Amino acid sequence: MSAPELHLFVIWPKARFVEARILEDLRRETEVVWTGEMRFEGDMALAYRRFYGPSLPDAARKVANCGTGPFVVVVVRDVRPEYDTVDAGGRNPVHCNVRMLGLKTKYREWAGRRHRVHGTVIPEEFARDVEMLTGRKAEEWQNGTPGGVMRPKLPDGWAAVSTLAPFARGRIAPTWGADAEERPELVGRTLFLKDKYINDVFYSGTCLGIDAIEKRSSKAIWSIGNEYRVASRMYGAAPSLVPRPLAWRFAADGSWASVVTERVKGPSLAELLKRGLSDSEADSFAADVLALAEALAKAGVVHRDIFADNLLLGADGHLKAIDWQLAIERDSYREDPWVVRHWKFRYVVFGVNRELGLGVWNDFHALWKLLAEFPQTDFVKSARASLSERMSGMAFSSPPDRKTRIKLALYGLSLRLQMLLRGKRHRKYAQLERRWRTVVCRWPR
């Protein structure tokens, strides 16, 4: 067996929907040295051509297959490399690290396209790629992450946008209106809600002098940081329509994470609809719905769980969209590792666009359905028409793989049997029927 050696993997933008799965597998198979997020600036075809060199025959096709936007770079140490001579796709046989080649092949299959994941298979390839991507030579990586790699001096047209290395335990993330070192806490913490599926507990109190809610999870821990990041992005795009994100933090032992956001005390849209809307209220709320749709498109965010209970009436009279924990970013799609493992939650329980197909989410469609419950004033009809015109271009799809489809088919059969055995009068019949209709709905194309 050869001595330990360094390699790297690049998860291009259109492969980031399996990013969590790849990172989890790399941690099992290798020693992960560093993980960072980067992007190309300017002409994407030129950037890909510059990275791959003469081995890239069609840069425009590479852009179409692999995407634009931020991508992930992972430097790993293979402590048990295995070498052999293999056929390299019709070219001359190549002597390479077959363990790294096997991982790269597996990740490309997960990503659905052959070239959406890049990986090195010989030390010389790693030396070239790591210097180009991080600005640090291979020798500097031998003892860990070299100094300055977080802000590398890269060739023109390249940029490091952030680090995805493990978060410092117990440290507060940068907050709105306060320096991170102030470590804002929830003052007067009072139990608000408990055991809501993936979240253990909700507290109410004040943070930075603002009425706030703290949401804590020990299951979907990554999603807590995601909520802070996505909600911050949305707050910047539409501050009147999103509660202000205030802080997020991890427990010292990594057992839980929590996010603190401004509290919205008004009723939900579901309650308002049940009470009944006047024409003027319908027009006002429809304007909020259109503004929210525009902000989602502008920020490149898909909420995925927009329904009447997740829109609350704020003190300023505007509807506020809450619960951004499992929202996604279009240009860098990724799932919480817990969601990846729990396929029923991802494809059956989670989401409101059931008639669109499994793994298809469309916030414009969800908002369009909400407006159908409003009094149909001229403005509401116009708002629905506006959403309908843009709906086809706003769908986001991540359909299940073949193995998951088989599981879902079996799950659908079990649901149908439960419905037949329990009968329509059973208290769980409606829930069983809703999930069964989700499973048997048409597959996305």
pLDDT per residue over 313-325, tens digit each?
999 999 999 999 9
Tell me if 124 is assigned to some domain.
Answer: yes
Judgement on whether residues 374 and 252 belong to the same structural domain of the protein: no
pLDDT band for 89, please (50, 70, 90 cuts).
low
Q: Cβ atoms within 10 A of the Cβ of 444, count?
A: 14
Judgement on whether residues 357 and 411 belong to the same structural domain of the protein: no
Tell me if 420 is assigned to some domain.
Answer: yes
Q: What pLDDT, on a 0 to 100 scale, did the predictor assign at position 167?
A: 30
pLDDT band for 312, please (50, 70, 90 cuts).
very high
For the ranges 113-117, 152-156, 179-183, 276-280, the lowest mean pLDDT is seen at 179-183
Judgement on whether residues 11 and 152 belong to the same structural domain of the protein: yes
Tell me if 48 is assigned to some domain.
Answer: yes
Judgement on whether residues 303 and 325 belong to the same structural domain of the protein: yes
Tell me if 86 is assigned to some domain.
Answer: yes
Interval 202-215 mean pLDDT: 92
Where in 267-414 does DSSP place strands (E)?
301-302, 311-313, 319-321, 328-329, 360-361, 396-397
pLDDT, tens digit, 9 for 90 and up, residues 383-426: 999 999 999 999 998 888 888 889 988 998 999 999 999 988 88
pLDDT of 150 above 90: no
pLDDT band for 50, please (50, 70, 90 cuts).
confident
Tell me if 175 is assigned to some domain.
Answer: no
Average pLDDT value over all residues in the chain: 84
Judgement on whether residues 299 and 212 belong to the same structural domain of the protein: no
What whole-number distance in Å separates Cα of residue 186 and Cα of residue 82?
Answer: 52
Judgement on whether residues 14 and 155 belong to the same structural domain of the protein: yes
- Those residues with Cβ within 8 angstroms of residue 116's Cβ, 6 or more apart along the chain or in another chain: 11, 12, 14, 15, 65, 66, 67, 108
pLDDT of 104 above 70: yes
pLDDT of 91 above 70: no
Nearest-CA neighbor of 142 among 31, 246, 236? 31
Structural domain for 434, as ranges: 400-445
Q: Full-prediction pTM beyond 0.85?
A: no
Q: What pLDDT, on a 0 to 100 scale, did the predictor assign at position 149?
A: 60
CATH number for the domain spanning 202: value is 3.30.200.20
Phi and psi at residue 255, in whole multiples of 5°? -85, -15
Judgement on whether residues 287 and 207 belong to the same structural domain of the protein: no
Q: Could you tell me the sign of the dihedral formed by the alpha carbons of 336, 341, 343, 345, in that order? A: negative
**Which of 262, 281, 300 is the C-terminal boundary of a domain?**
262
**Which of 262, 287, 305 is the C-terminal boundary of a domain?**
262
Tell me if 172 is assigned to some domain.
Answer: no
**Which of 213, 244, 262 is the C-terminal boundary of a domain?**
262
pLDDT band for 182, please (50, 70, 90 cuts).
very low
Amino acid letter for position 220: A
Q: What is the DSSP letter of 253?
A: T
Q: What is the DSSP letter of 323?
A: -
Judgement on whether residues 413 and 360 belong to the same structural domain of the protein: no
Judgement on whether residues 11 and 121 belong to the same structural domain of the protein: yes
The count of structural domains within the chain is: 4
pLDDT of 118 above 80: yes
Q: What pLDDT, on a 0 to 100 scale, did the predictor assign at position 172?
A: 34
Tell me if 168 is assigned to some domain.
Answer: no
Judgement on whether residues 294 and 330 belong to the same structural domain of the protein: yes
What whole-number distance in Å separates Cα of residue 49 and Cα of residue 287?
Answer: 45
Judgement on whether residues 82 and 32 belong to the same structural domain of the protein: yes
What whole-number distance in Å separates Cα of residue 44 and Cα of residue 224?
Answer: 32
Tell me if 169 is assigned to some domain.
Answer: no
Packing angle between helix 59-66 and helix 44-52, nearest 10 degrees?
A: 100
Burial class (CB in 10 A: 0-12, 13-18, 19+), 124: exposed
Judgement on whether residues 11 and 157 belong to the same structural domain of the protein: yes
Q: What pLDDT, on a 0 to 100 scale, did the predictor assign at position 445?
A: 40
